[in-house]
Amino acid sequence: MVSMHAMSYSLAFFFFAALASAQLSPTFYETSCPGALYTIQNAVRAAVFKERRMGASLLRLHFHDCFVNGCDGSILLDDTPTFTGEKTAGPNNNSVRGFDVIDTIKSQVEAICTQVVSCADILAVAARDSVVALGGPSWAVQLGRRDATTASFSGANSDIPSPTSDLSALISAFSKKGLSTTDMVALSGAHTIGQARCTVFRTRLYNETNIDASLATSLKSNCPSSGGDDNLSPLDAITPTIVDNFYYKDLVNKKGLLHSDQQLYNGGSTDSQVTTYANNFAKFYSDFAAAMVNMGNISPLTGTSGEIRTNCRKIN
């Protein structure tokens, strides 16, 4: 028999947990900064129009932010003489980009509402607006995150999934963040846009057999067995600047660029989901949108936690 004290405690805890998750809301800035979303959208459109690859880069910034201590803007903090941030961690160093675009957005938002809109929320909205700008689905972004006053170099090295990950490691990395395998396969569809450096897929090209021979041959010209580490190839060779389902069609045809991509369709538990998305882009769109909301809900700072940075690169 559960005691009344224990029951009231568990009810109180449930209420508190519900309250915490309810603190993020799509209408968070409706009165405090009504022009925020429009301002971010216009800036993202301008950046993507200037360079279509930037859409993939802004989407990736949000992902790499959320996987390290939650969606708290920590990835944006520059190193200082007394502080090492996340930018030089293995998965980010010479790889993540778009910081200047975020700076531009932040300065435009600060001009209309001083110290109201967090850098973490700007990352979340910019990710959505990038997907929309490249022809993908939209979703209601949950808002009200606050910015971290610290970052984790070690967390960036340990928690961001690697392009060399096997399926079990991918499932585990996402599960650790409260994301399902369905979320993981849907979010991997972000690789329908963007580019990867030769250094992260060289081993697959030269050592793996589950890769289309003609694709491997064509890629080798741009990614030699040594040298050319920073040479880029598109993650989706067919439509690298359009959010569609060709990424999944590629996987079915053994044309995944990264080892971690092809793991999603390699005789394992996620093959059927990949096949579904390859045949039904509407299903991919709806699952991707839902998974992006789930990812955006990873451990946000709310209420009085953290701060609203005036400059995304440094704490106030």
Does 74 belong to an annotated binding site?
yes
For residue 300, which phi and psi values (nearest 5 degrees)? Answer: -70, 150
Does 103 belong to an annotated binding site?
no
Does 70 belong to an annotated binding site?
yes
CA distances from 117 to 18, 59, 188, 244, 289 (A): 23, 19, 28, 31, 22
CA atoms within 13 A on the CB side of 312: 27
Does 191 belong to an annotated binding site?
yes
Q: Is the dihedral of CA 264, 265, 270, 274 positive or negative?
A: positive
Spot the catalytic one: 5, 62, 64, 259.
Answer: 64
Reply yes or no on whether 5 is catalytic.
Answer: no
Name the amino acid, one letter, at 6. Answer: A
* Radius of gyration for the alpha carbons in the chain, expressed in angstroms and rounded: 20
- Whole-angstrom distance, CA of residue 216 vs CA of residue 234: 13
For residue 26, which phi and psi values (nearest 5 degrees)? Answer: -60, -20
Q: At 45, which helix (H) or strand (E)?
A: helix 36-50
CA distances from 147 to 34, 65, 115, 280, 313 (A): 20, 11, 11, 37, 11
Does 68 belong to an annotated binding site?
yes
Does 26 belong to an annotated binding site?
no
Name the amino acid, one letter, at 270. Answer: T
Does 79 belong to an annotated binding site?
no
Burial of 220 (C-beta count, 10 Å sphere; 0-12/13-18/19+): middle
Residues in the chain: 316
Does 100 belong to an annotated binding site?
no
Write down the residue that tokens 């947990």 correspond to.
17
CA distances from 69 to 17, 33, 91, 156, 200 (A): 18, 26, 15, 9, 24
- Whole-angstrom distance, CA of residue 105 vs CA of residue 27: 19
Does 39 belong to an annotated binding site?
no
Q: At 51, which helix (H) or strand (E)?
A: none
Does 86 belong to an annotated binding site?
yes
Name the binding residues for Ca(2+). Answer: 65, 68, 70, 72, 74, 86, 192, 236, 239, 244
Name the binding residues. Answer: 65, 68, 70, 72, 74, 86, 161, 191-192, 236, 239, 244
Residues involved in catalysis: 64
Name the binding residues for substrate. Answer: 161
